[in-house]
């Protein structure tokens, strides 16, 4: 019985030293605490401040992940729209708009009328939340486009698309756009 107690005590001490050593090697103590769980305190049933902070840190990480996932999904939807538009599939492209059709004047310069595209390069800026929700439901995404059209010089466009998350299915829809052709410097 005493041998088990001694071995248990020795294992606990070694675990504490290992945790202390790993924590000192880590830059971020929150991440280190998440990777190596604290040694449970069997003498008290009340939650410790460290456990409460671990729970809060986990909640914060989950919110950040949801926020980042939302931004990524919105940018992916916009790029899928532009790829469908560049591929000439207007019906597929229109499905990305609110109510499955763009407004009569979508403010996309001449992008919707281009034919015989050779290539489309999309560079988007960082999405800007248009609401104050922790996980945004409305975003503005700045874009710069370079479009190669057969028999024409390279065309450049700059502007933004506004997207919102659909309540029904959670997918991102384009609600408005402001894209202008960029004049070439002579």
Contact by Cβ (8 Å): 175, 98:
yes
pLDDT in tens, 125-158: 999 999 999 899 999 999 999 999 888 889 999 9
pLDDT in tens, 2-11: 656 556 655 5
Confidence grade of residue 22 (pLDDT, cut at 50, 70, 90)? very low
Look at residues 141, 132, 134, 142 and name the one whose alpha carbon lies nearest to residue 172: 141
Two structure tokens written together for 128: 């800007």
For residue 134, give every residue at least 6 positions away whose Cβ sits within 8 Å of its Cβ, in sequence order, or none: 63, 66, 67
Contact by Cβ (8 Å): 122, 116:
no
pLDDT in tens, 24-34: 444 443 333 33
* Region of poorest pLDDT, from 14-18, 35-39, 119-123, 151-155: 35-39
Region 59-85: what's the mean pLDDT? 92
The residues spanned by each domain of the chain are 2-39, 63-181
Does the domain at 63-181 match CATH 3.40.640.10? Answer given as: no
For residue 101, give every residue at least 6 positions away whose Cβ sits within 8 Å of its Cβ, in sequence order, or none: 94
Given this model, what pLDDT does residue 31 score?
36
pLDDT at residue 113 tops 50: yes
Instruction: Give the whole-angstrom CA distance, residue 173 versus residue 166.
Output: 7
More confident residue, 174 or 32: 174
């Amino acid at each position: 019985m005493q041998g088990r107690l001694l071995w248990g005590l020795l294992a606990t001490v070694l675990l504490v030293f290992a945790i202390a050593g790993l924590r000192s090697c880590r830059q971020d103590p929150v991440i280190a605490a998440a990777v190596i769980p604290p040694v449970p305190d069997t003498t008290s049933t009340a939650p410790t401040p460290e456990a409460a902070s671990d729970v809060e840190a986990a909640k914060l990480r989950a919110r950040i992940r949801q926020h980042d996932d939302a931004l990524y999904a919105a940018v992916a939807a916009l790029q899928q729209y532009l790829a469908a538009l560049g591929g000439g599939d207007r019906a597929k492209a229109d499905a990305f708009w609110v109510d499955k059709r763009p407004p009569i004047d979508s403010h996309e310069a001449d992008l919707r009328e281009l034919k015989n595209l050779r290539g489309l390069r999309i560079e988007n800026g960082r999405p800007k939340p248009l609401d104050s929700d922790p996980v945004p439901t409305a975003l503005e995404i700045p874009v710069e486009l370079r479009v190669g059209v057969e028999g024409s010089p390279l065309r450049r466009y700059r502007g933004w698309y506004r997207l919102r998350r659909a309540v029904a299915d959670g997918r991102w829809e384009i609600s408005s756009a402001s894209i202008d052709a960029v004049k070439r410097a002579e």
